[in-house]
Amino acid sequence: MFRMWILAALVLVGQLAQAAPVGGRFDSIDGGVIDLSSFRGQPVLVVNTASRCGFTKQYSGLQTLYDRYRERGLVVIAVPSNDFKQELGSAEEVKQFCELNYDLTLPMTDITPVKGAKAHPFYQAVRLETGFEPGWNFNKILIAPDGSVAGTWGSVARPLSGQITGAIEQFLP
């Protein structure tokens, strides 16, 4: 009887751990903090980015996606990272580059580690929940309104692709 109780408790703890929402707080490139919990109830697309990458042109698609769905609740967050050695030297340089070249208005974090032992807690939680870890720049993670991971895509998936917009649209009014 005691073994069955322990087993039931372990199963319940495992289910609770799987249901735990992915969250976190990022330092904003503009100063202050971007707190993912403030977007609870909305879909959030988190994308690790870099200014000197062959996929950098995806910033245009990310901005278009944000402009298209922002009024319906979508949040798109760019997370500049130098984990793949393709980011500019400072957050100020990144911000200026993105404003001048892509007219970005979507929220951006400070330069942030996204893989390995030094990864930001958000990326560590995603890896624990799904096994997904960015393998390169411009990997996309869709967080559902309940805080769970609703989808992940690699660099080659364009922000305006049907697979990404379809996944986002299911969470929008």
Strand, coil or helix: what is 68?
helix
- The answer, yes or no, to whether residue 6 has pLDDT greater than 60, is no
DSSP 12-58: HHHHHHHHSPP--EEEBTTSSEEEGGGGTTS-EEEEEE-TTSTTTTH
Query: Rounded CA gap, 14 and 116, in Å?
Result: 24
Lowest mean pLDDT, pick from 8-12, 83-87, 165-169? 8-12
Q: How far is the CA of 79 from the CAs of 9, 42, 93, 123, 138, in angstroms?
A: 38, 18, 14, 11, 9
**Tens digits of residue pLDDT in 118-130:** 999 999 999 999 9
> How much is the pLDDT for 20?
58
Q: Is 53 a catalytic residue?
A: yes
- The answer, yes or no, to whether residue 1 has pLDDT greater than 80, is no
Which of the pair, 65 or 23, is modelled with greater confidence?
Answer: 65
> How much is the pLDDT for 27?
97
Residue 7 Cα to chain centre, angstroms: 34
> How much is the pLDDT for 16?
38
Query: Rounded CA gap, 65 and 164, in Å?
Result: 10
Mean pLDDT of 102-122: 97
pTM of the model: 0.88
Residue 25, both tokens: 């707080």
Q: How confident is the model at residue 47 (pLDDT cuts 50, 70, 90)?
A: very high
Residues 6+ away with beta carbon under 8 Å from 135: 115, 154, 155
- The answer, yes or no, to whether residue 11 has pLDDT greater than 80, is no
Catalytic residue among 24, 27, 28, 53: 53
> How much is the pLDDT for 23?
84
What is the average pLDDT score of the chain?
90
Query: Rounded CA gap, 155 and 161, in Å?
Result: 12
> How much is the pLDDT for 22?
81
**Tens digits of residue pLDDT in 131-170:** 999 999 999 999 999 999 999 999 999 999 999 999 999 9
Placement of tokens 């200014």 in the chain: 51
Q: In the chain, what are the domains?
A: 22-169 (3.40.30.10)
**Tens digits of residue pLDDT in 13-22:** 444 344 457 8
